[in-house]
Amino acid sequence: MIDATGAVQAEAQWAFAATPLAELTAIWQSTLYRLIEQIPASIRQDITRIAIDGTSATVLLCDRQGTPITEPLLYNDGRGIAMMEQLKQIAPANSVVLSATSSLAKLLWLIHHTPGTLENYYFLHQADWLAFLLHGKLGISDYHNALKLGYDPEKLEYPSWMKQLPLPPILPKVLAPGTPVGDVTPEIASRLGLHPDCQVCTGTTDSIAAFLASGAKHPGEALTSLGSTLVLKLLSHTRVENADYGIYSHRLGNLWLTGGASNTGGAVLRQFFSDRELEELSHQINPEQESPLDYYPLLKRGDRFPINDPDLSPKLEPQPANPVEFLHGLLESIARIEARGYQLLQQLGATPLTCVYTAGGGAKNTTWTAIRQRQLQVAIQPPRHIEAAYGTALFVRNRF
């Protein structure tokens, strides 16, 4: 919860335990209510607008009462692979929907596997459904969540090729992120102690919210996530799309948030070192000196960005006996891949890089930051806020 100046007024968290798919929506619902109830009652009444960010391409079907009729299909659920042939016949070759995990592939899969009349069902993203629980309106989404459903954020419409698909009239109406949809329902207001005039707005996706939370806001500013994998996002005047490299852009007001994701990253570091070893050994590295070791650290074959090669072999040889040298080679090599990624985005037309914010488990490694600074040749900043929720709150404070 933030105020008009952007200062945090309250913060609440709830950690998920591993949950069977069938129970997941019930857990999402109780978690949402618990989170709101954790905000001190005295200031909960002051909340004027709420928006929710959700995991991109985590989707479900529900009935006209909003009750889920299927288990949710999570962001990484690959069942949509079965629909790819059908989709390839119709969607343009560079479309972001041409992935087994896209929302559109999942919708086609659900249509194929759900008995009954689909006209009675709504297809919603995680954030849409959670917002429905508060405002009671079904069939509404935002153009961030809807991108992987095929929605065109430039023309602000569903593209005409989608009409050729056997889609029932259940596609959500798409609004800009942060647009007020309605007040909380009277039941929710009294149950959760919210003001009856509190508005619920359209949401966004986790990664866009995390980008904005970092503090990046000008064209040329970027966020690198050094988590299990390496994810780059660069704010640009121009829209960059390249299906070969898995590059696509989200609309952010009059700008575009373009990015790509590599399979390299912290998961490979974890294969060789504990987090404690990473910290201790990193302190022994001289980051001013470039490591001559040239690796392509991967857990298994294949990468898409910045090298598009499904057969690319992990390159982790030669492995020096000294673990400090080995780690130096790994950190240097991941930094080179990051620099190559930003170069590729710029070659494809993105606004030149001016500064990089960093998030994820690797962000705290100051040695790595110094290595990356040498490779990237721009300033590297710690994120101002690490919780994605902060970025979502910015949408309703200061609409994009």
What is the phi-psi region of residue 206: left when phi exceeds 0, alpha when psi lies from -120 to 50, beta otherwise?
alpha
Q: Which stretch binds ligand ADP (CB under 6 A): 26-34, 80-88, 195-203, 362-370?
A: 362-370
Q: How far apart are CA 109 and CA 82, in angstroms?
A: 7
Residue 269 contacts ligand ADP per CB under 6 A: yes
Structure tokens given for 198: 């509190």
Interacting residue with ligand ADP among 314, 360, 383, 391 (CB under 6 A): 360
Interacting residue with ligand ADP among 46, 71, 279, 280 (CB under 6 A): 279
What is the phi-psi region of residue 281: left when phi exceeds 0, alpha when psi lies from -120 to 50, beta otherwise?
alpha
Q: Which stretch binds ligand ADP (CB under 6 A): 180-188, 262-270, 286-294, 314-322?
A: 262-270
Complex with ligand ADP: residue 227 or 302, whichever CB lies closer: 227
Burial per residue of 132-170, b for 16 or more beta-carbon CB atoms within 10 angstroms, e otherwise: bbbbbebbbbbbbbbbbbbbbbeeeebeeebeebebeeb
Q: How far is the CB of 276 from ligand ADP (least distance, A)?
A: 9
Residue 104 contacts ligand ADP per CB under 6 A: no
- Tell me if 25 sits within 8 A of 67, measured CB to CB: no
Residues 21-40 that bind ligand ADP (CB under 6 A): none
Q: How far is the CB of 323 from ligand ADP (least distance, A)?
A: 14
Stretch 364-393: interaction string toward ligand ADP, x if CB under 6 A:
xx--x-------------------------
Residue 361 contacts ligand ADP per CB under 6 A: yes
Q: How far is the CB of 122 from ligand ADP (least distance, A)?
A: 30
Q: How far apart are CA 374 and CA 289, in angstroms?
A: 9
Q: How many CB atoms lie within 10 A of CB 287?
A: 21
Complex with ligand ADP: residue 203 or 360, whichever CB lies closer: 360
Residues 200-229 that bind ligand ADP (CB under 6 A): 227-228
The three-class DSSP label of residue 160 is helix
Complex with ligand ADP: residue 230 or 350, whichever CB lies closer: 230
CB under 8 Å to 116, separation ≥6 — which residues? Answer: none
Q: Which stretch binds ligand ADP (CB under 6 A): 184-192, 292-300, 357-365, 373-381?
A: 357-365
Complex with ligand ADP: residue 150 or 266, whichever CB lies closer: 266
Q: Which stretch binds ligand ADP (CB under 6 A): 106-114, 192-200, 306-314, 360-368?
A: 360-368
Q: How far is the CB of 138 from ligand ADP (least distance, A)?
A: 31
Which stretches of the chain are assigned E, i.e. beta strand?
49-50, 53-54, 59-62, 122-125, 140-142, 173-175, 180-183, 199-201, 204-205, 221-226, 230-236, 248-252, 255-262, 355-359, 379-381
Q: How far is the CB of 304 from ligand ADP (least distance, A)?
A: 17
Q: How many CB atoms lie within 10 A of CB 35?
A: 15
Query: If you write DSSP's letter for every residue of 273-335 in order, what string do you get?
Result: --HHHHHHHHTT--TTSPP----B--SSS-B-SSS-BTTPPPB--S--SSHHHHHHHHHHHHH
Interacting residue with ligand ADP among 270, 340, 397, 399 (CB under 6 A): 270
Complex with ligand ADP: residue 121 or 305, whichever CB lies closer: 305
Q: How far is the CB of 373 from ligand ADP (least distance, A)?
A: 15
Complex with ligand ADP: residue 256 or 390, whichever CB lies closer: 390
- Which of 294, 331, 296, 336 lies closest to 313 in space, CA to CA? 296
Q: How do strand 230-236 and strand 355-359 relate by DSSP bridges?
A: unpaired
Q: How far is CA 209 from the centre of its chain?
A: 8
Q: How many residues bind ligand ADP (CB under 6 A)?
A: 16
- For the chain, the first-to-last Cα distance in angstroms comes to 18
Interacting residue with ligand ADP among 69, 90, 267, 299 (CB under 6 A): 267
Complex with ligand ADP: residue 128 or 206, whichever CB lies closer: 206
Q: Which stretch binds ligand ADP (CB under 6 A): 30-38, 268-276, 289-297, 388-396?
A: 268-276
Interacting residue with ligand ADP among 266, 287, 297, 314 (CB under 6 A): 266
- Whether the bond into 219 is cis, omega within 30 of 0: no
Residues found near ligand ADP in the complex (CB under 6 A): 227-228, 266-267, 269-270, 275, 278-279, 282, 360-362, 364-365, 368
